[in-house]
Amino acid sequence: MSGAIHAIAVPKWGIEMIEGTLNAWRKDVGDDVALGEALLELESDKIVNTLEAGGSGVLRRQLAAPGQTLEVGALLGIIAGEDVEDAEVESFIAKWQAAEAAKAGPAGAKQVESAAPKPEAAPPARSNAGAAQGNVRVSPVVRRRAAELGLDLSQVRGSGRGGRITKEDVEEFGQSSDSEVLAAQAPSYDEQPLSGMRRTIARRMQGAKQDIPHFYLTIDLPLDGLNAHRARLNEEAGALRVSVNDLLIWCIGQALKAVPEINVQYGENDTIRQFRHVDISVGVATERGLITPVLRSAHCKSALEIASDMAVLAQKARAGKLSMDEIEGGTFTLSNLGMMDVREFAAIINPPQAAILAAGKSEQRVVIEDGEMCVRTRMTVTLSCDHRVVDGAVAAKFLQSLTHQIANLG
């Protein structure tokens, strides 16, 4: 709209998000921008998402470069009409940054003051005396590039705002003679920095193990009937394939519906929050770590619907295209390592949920039935529960219901 100025700022994608890393711009300065058009790719500690334009006009400023990590609310760029004077744009930027500085307080004032890059400023000379930069934050993109080149980031001098190390700094240092000296002094191990998502996983899992009193129940599930039912479904499903995991999700949904006392969370003010719906978080292994997309209303869906929905969620998870709505709000988690030949394991609860089911591989075992040895297909599963809100008898009742659901499929 003529005369309008639209800010492009780091959004808050989820309660825990405090910063985002700019991975790439989709538009260049001077390009026309339409409302809702993709502007840039931004990486949070959970996902990589595309930020869309909040207004129409021309991209007048890019205030951050790929590889930079900025706090929520920080200004990334400006969209404005062609008739808006440069002075108006600069005034808008100055007011925005002043407001951010006021929110941050004295400690954050200097950081916000230097938020806009100064293209005319000469970058500082590179040297191997960058160890003093230990407190300067480095984006996941820069850390990954440094790891690829085998460089020690403490030796790289940053040319970005506040001494921040950019991807270009790393690549330039990697081509310098200093890097050859460092290579000769390299330790006998490779050190990989934690990505934003891995840091979040580390923090959440450490907190869960420390704060949640876990207890564990393990049983062997009978899968012969499930496998026969799966074969019948796949004969009728056409191109869609139903997996053991899909049917396990369906059975979990029915068991949670039958035993809602385990479909709970430890709520605020010492309360138990019991859900009327069953939204199952399902672990999906990706290059960036374990993602748990949420299958909504699992208790209301057929096995074919679950298979279809999980295929889409898994594909989006591996491509880094999940939305926050697709990874938040689960009421129970399934983690299955059976496809990796893991026979049995115990998983850490995914807070704020109260239970997680760890599933091992499906395999034939010798069992005793009616005094006779026979071969049957079994899967060992371990249920981890939060003892603050789930009792052992309730957990056992859930596992009994799950066994009943699986044994009576079809």
Say if residue 109's pLDDT is above 50. Answer: no
CA distances from 334 to 82, 241, 294, 305, 337 (A): 53, 19, 10, 17, 10
Query: What would the pLDDT profile of 57-75 be if each residue is shown by its tens digit?
Result: 999 999 999 888 888 899 9
**Alpha carbons 351 and 388: distance in angstroms, whole number:** 13
> What is the per-residue pLDDT for 231?
94
Q: 292 or 104: which carries more pLDDT confidence?
A: 292
pLDDT, average across residues 297-307: 95
Where does the pLDDT of residue 236 fall: very low under 50, low under 70, confident under 90, or very high at 90 and above? confident
pLDDT, average across residues 391-401: 97
Where does the pLDDT of residue 136 fall: very low under 50, low under 70, confident under 90, or very high at 90 and above? low
Say if residue 289's pLDDT is above 80. Answer: no
**Alpha carbons 143 and 202: distance in angstroms, whole number:** 17
Query: What would the pLDDT profile of 156-214 be if each residue is shown by its tens digit?
Result: 888 876 678 888 888 888 887 555 555 556 566 777 777 666 777 788 889 999 999 99
Query: What would the pLDDT profile of 347-385 be if each residue is shown by its tens digit?
Result: 999 999 999 999 999 999 999 999 999 999 999 999 999
> What is the per-residue pLDDT for 145?
84
277, 299, 387, 404: the catalytic one is 387
Is residue 45 exposed (0-12), middle (13-18) or buried (19+ Cβ within 10 Å)? Answer: buried
Contacts of 373 (CB under 8 A, 6+ apart): 366, 367
Question: In this structure, are residues 322 and 316 in contact, taking their beta carbons and an 8 Å threshold?
Answer: yes
The verdict on whether 387 is a catalytic residue reads: yes
**Alpha carbons 101 and 113: distance in angstroms, whole number:** 7
Where does the pLDDT of residue 138 fall: very low under 50, low under 70, confident under 90, or very high at 90 and above? confident
Q: 20 or 361: which carries more pLDDT confidence?
A: 361
